[in-house]
């Protein structure tokens, strides 16, 4: 069996270390390890997704009361980078991080704590095979391209299912790694689809879930 970051158990030798990242003048510290996605630092696609969501949501959230703060889900969270950063930099209520990789999920729990990511819940879960009971207002993903198109499309389907009415879905995808097929799939699920940012071959897509 091929062993890569989107598998349950990692066969690679553990080699945990820490790296730092400064985003919007806030310093984050993440523990990482072998056998996880983008193990040495925040990858370009995830950083672009973070920046794009902050820019898109930031203006909308001004003046929100605590009761109005949205919930957030990160599908395939890895060591938790995207969800944790958005939790800290946006006015987020509950944050749900889902990850199949046992090693990455454990690191996400550690990283949520050390970065003071409040009301953040990490669940080791196979998004393709298991149901997600939680609902969210915002759902983000940097999908596991190496796991194959069927897995990536399952991520999109689960995102649609778990979003509340008028919920927003964001994802990052490279043009050379399935942009056209991703757009086609998302257009089947959502009645609207737009590209809100692009850089170096990466595209940030946004969809809104209409009332059924």
- Report if residue 7 sits inside a domain: no
CB atoms inside a 10 Å sphere around CB 57: 20
- Report if residue 66 sits inside a domain: yes
- Report if residue 82 sits inside a domain: yes
Q: Give the CATH number, domain containing residue 30.
A: 3.40.50.150
pLDDT, one tens digit per residue, over 81-132 is 999 999 999 989 999 999 999 999 999 999 999 999 999 999 999 999 999 9
Per-residue pLDDT at 16: 86
In this structure, the strands spanning 136-141 and 163-174 are parallel
CA separation for the pair 212, 210 (Å, rounded): 6
Backbone angles phi, psi at 37, to 5 degrees: -70, 135
User: pLDDT: is 6 or 190 the higher one?
Assistant: 190
pLDDT, one tens digit per residue, over 133-152 is 999 999 999 999 989 999 99
User: pLDDT: is 186 or 14 the higher one?
Assistant: 186
- Is 68 a residue whose pLDDT tops 90? no
Per-residue pLDDT at 61: 64
Q: Which band of pLDDT confidence, cut at 50, 70 and 90, is reported for residue 66?
A: low
Report if pTM > 0.75.
Answer: yes
The domain tally of the chain equals: 1
- Is 12 a residue whose pLDDT tops 80? no
Q: 203: helix, coil or strand? A: strand
- Report if residue 175 sits inside a domain: yes
- Report if residue 162 sits inside a domain: yes
In this structure, the strands spanning 95-99 and 72-75 are parallel
- Report if residue 120 sits inside a domain: yes
Per-residue pLDDT at 58: 75
- Is 79 a residue whose pLDDT tops 50? yes
* Structural domain that includes position 148: 17-208
Per-residue pLDDT at 69: 87
At 169, list the tokens: 């879905």
CB atoms inside a 10 Å sphere around CB 18: 10
User: pLDDT: is 8 or 52 the higher one?
Assistant: 52
Mean pLDDT value of segment 168-186 = 97
- Report if residue 74 sits inside a domain: yes
- Report if residue 200 sits inside a domain: yes
Q: How would DSSP label each residue in 39-59?
A: TTS--HHHHHHHHHHHHHHHT
Q: Which band of pLDDT confidence, cut at 50, 70 and 90, is reported for residue 202?
A: very high
């Amino acid at each position: 069996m091929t062993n890569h970051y989107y598998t349950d158990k990692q066969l690679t030798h553990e080699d945990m270390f820490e790296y730092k990242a400064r985003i919007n003048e806030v310093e984050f510290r993440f523990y990482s390890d072998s056998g996880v996605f983008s193990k040495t630092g925040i990858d370009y696609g995830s950083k672009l997704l973070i920046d794009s969501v902050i820019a898109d949501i930031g203006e909308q959230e001004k003046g929100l009361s605590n009761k109005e703060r949205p919930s957030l889900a990160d599908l395939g969270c890895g060591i938790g980078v995207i969800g944790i950063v958005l939790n800290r930099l946006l006015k987020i209520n509950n944050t749900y991080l889902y990850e199949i990789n046992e090693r990455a999920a454990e690191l996400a729990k550690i990283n949520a704590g050390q970065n003071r990511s409040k009301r953040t819940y990490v669940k080791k879960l196979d998004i393709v095979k298991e149901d997600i009971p939680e609902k969210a207002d915002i759902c983000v993903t940097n999908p596991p391209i190496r796991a194959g198109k069927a897995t990536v499309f399952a991520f999109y389907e689960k995102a649609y299912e778990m979003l509340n009415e008028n919920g927003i879905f964001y994802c990052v995808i490279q043009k050379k790694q399935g942009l056209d097929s991703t757009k086609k799939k998302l257009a089947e699920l959502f009645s609207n689809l737009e590209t809100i940012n692009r850089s170096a071959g990466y595209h940030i897509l946004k969809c809104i879930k209409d009332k059924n």
